[in-house]
C-alpha cells in the first residue's frame, strides 16, 4: 500500500512537470487574463465618456427670462454627486485593469524557463528521496511547494476566476455595459426638444455619436424651455438607468479581481498545506 501511494505521488509530480514545460496552461491563462483586461479597459472607456458627457451637461448655460429679466442657470450642476460616482468608478476600472495587467506579468514570470527548470530539479530530487525510503527533509518539501505556487498558483487562480465570471456574471456585465453605453442617447430621446431624424441627436444610437452633437451650439431658434427640458431629460435618464448599473459593474469587478482570486488562492494554499506535510509520519515509520 505504501509503495502504491509513493508511485501515485510521483506520477502526479511527473504530470505537473509536463504541465510546467507545456505551453497550453500558460496560453489559456494568458488568454483569459487578456479577456478580463479588455473588459476592464472597455468599461473604463465607457466611464470616462460618461464623465465627459456629464461635464458637458454641467457646463451648459441656459438663459431664461422670467418677467422680462434675463437669468442664466446651469441645470447640470445637479449632476455633481453622479459625476463624483462616475469618477470613482473610472478609478476602480483603472485599478481593475492594472490588476489584470499584474496577473499577465505574474503568469509570464511563473512560466519562465528558470522557474520550470528549478521546479523540475527539486521535484526529481524530492521523488528520489521519497522513493528511496528516506525521510524527506522538510526544507525540500517546502521548496517544492513554493515552486509549485510560483508556477501554478496565478494561472490556476486566473482560469478559475474567469470561468466563474463566465458562468455567473457575464450576462449581467453585458447588460450593464449596454445600458451605460446607451444612457445618453436614451436621455436625449426623452427630451421634447429632440425630434428623431437622420441628422438629430435623438436618432443617434450611442454616446459615441451623441458626444459631438452636444458640444455644438444650439440653433438660435431653439426655445430656452426646450434647452432646459433636454438637459433635464438626459439627467433623469442617467439617474434612472445608469447609477444602478455603475454600482453593479463596480461590484462585478471587485468580485472578479479581488474576492474570487483570494478565495481560490486560499483553497489552493489549503490543499498544498497537506502536500507540505508529506511524507506522513505514519507512512514513514511503517516503511522504515
Counting residues of the chain whose pLDDT is more than 90, the rounded percentage is 24
Question: How much of the chain is in helix, strand and coil states, percent to nearest 5?
Answer: 80, 0, 15
Q: What is the pLDDT of residues 147-158, one digit of tens each?
A: 888 888 888 899
Cα gap 196→194, rounded to integer Å:
6
**Cα–Cα nearest to 104, from 33, 158, 175, 15:** 33
| pLDDT (0 to 100) of residue 91 | 93
**Cα–Cα nearest to 188, from 176, 199, 203, 177:** 203
DSSP string, 118-161: HHHHHHHHHHHHHHTTPPPPHHHHHHHHHHHHHHHHHHHHHHHH
**Cα–Cα nearest to 260, from 174, 157, 170:** 157
Grid cell 489559456 in the structure block, residue: 28
Confidence bin at 222 (pLDDT 50/70/90): very low
Quick check: 28 pLDDT over 60?
yes
Q: What is the pLDDT of residues 256-267, one digit of tens each?
A: 999 999 999 888
To 10 degrees, the CA torsion angle through 48, 52, 55, 61?
-170
Grid cell 459593474 in the structure block, residue: 249
Contact (CB, 8 A) for 184 and 52 = no
| pLDDT (0 to 100) of residue 43 | 93
Q: What is the separation of C-alpha 273 from the centre of its chain, rounded to a whole number of angstroms? A: 29
H or E element: which one contains 68?
none
End-to-end CA distance of the chain: 14
Q: What is the pLDDT of residues 38-91, one digit of tens each?
A: 999 999 999 888 888 777 766 666 555 554 445 555 555 666 777 888 889 999
136: Cβ–Cβ under 8 A, 6 or more apart, which residues? Answer: 126, 129, 130, 278, 279
| pLDDT (0 to 100) of residue 285 | 40
Contact (CB, 8 A) for 237 and 183 = yes
More confident call, 242 vs 156: 156
Amino acid at each position: 500500500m505504501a509503495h502504491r501511494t509513493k508511485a501515485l505521488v510521483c506520477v502526479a509530480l511527473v504530470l505537473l512537470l509536463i504541465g510546467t514545460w507545456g505551453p497550453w496552461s500558460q496560453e489559456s491563462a494568458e488568454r483569459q487574463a487578456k479577456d478580463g483586461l479588455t473588459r476592464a479597459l472597455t468599461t473604463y472607456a465607457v466611464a470616462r465618456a460618461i464623465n465627459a458627457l456629464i461635464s458637458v451637461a454641467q457646463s451648459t448655460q441656459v438663459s431664461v427670462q422670467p418677467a422680462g429679466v434675463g437669468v442664466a442657470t446651469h441645470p447640470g450642476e445637479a449632476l455633481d454627486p453622479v459625476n463624483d460616482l462616475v469618477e470613482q468608478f473610472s478609478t476602480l476600472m483603472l485599478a481593475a485593469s492594472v490588476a489584470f495587467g499584474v496577473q499577465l506579468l505574474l503568469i509570464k514570470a511563473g512560466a519562465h524557463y528558470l522557474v520550470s527548470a528549478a521546479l523540475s530539479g527539486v521535484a526529481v530530487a524530492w521523488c528520489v528521496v521519497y522513493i528511496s525510503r528516506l525521510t524527506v527533509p522538510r526544507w525540500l518539501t517546502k521548496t517544492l511547494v513554493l515552486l509549485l505556487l510560483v508556477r501554478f498558483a496565478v494561472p490556476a487562480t486566473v482560469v478559475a476566476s474567469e470561468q466563474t465570471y463566465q458562468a455567473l456574471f457575464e450576462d449581467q456585465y453585458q447588460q450593464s455595459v449596454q445600458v451605460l453605453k446607451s444612457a445618453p442617447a436614451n436621455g436625449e430621446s426623452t427630451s421634447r426638444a429632440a425630434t428623431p431624424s437622420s441628422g438629430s441627436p435623438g436618432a443617434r444610437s450611442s454616446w459615441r455619436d451623441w458626444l459631438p452633437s452636444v458640444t455644438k451650439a444650439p440653433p438660435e431658434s431653439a426655445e430656452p424651455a426646450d434647452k432646459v427640458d433636454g438637459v433635464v431629460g438626459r439627467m433623469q435618464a442617467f439617474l434612472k438607468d445608469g447609477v444602478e448599473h455603475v454600482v453593479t459593474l463596480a461590484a462585478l469587478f471587485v468580485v472578479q479581481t479581488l474576492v474570487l482570486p483570494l478565495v481560490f488562492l486560499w483553497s489552493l494554499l489549503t490543499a498544498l498545506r497537506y502536500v507540505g506535510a508529506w511524507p506522513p509520519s505514519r507512512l514513514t515509520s511503517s516503511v522504515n
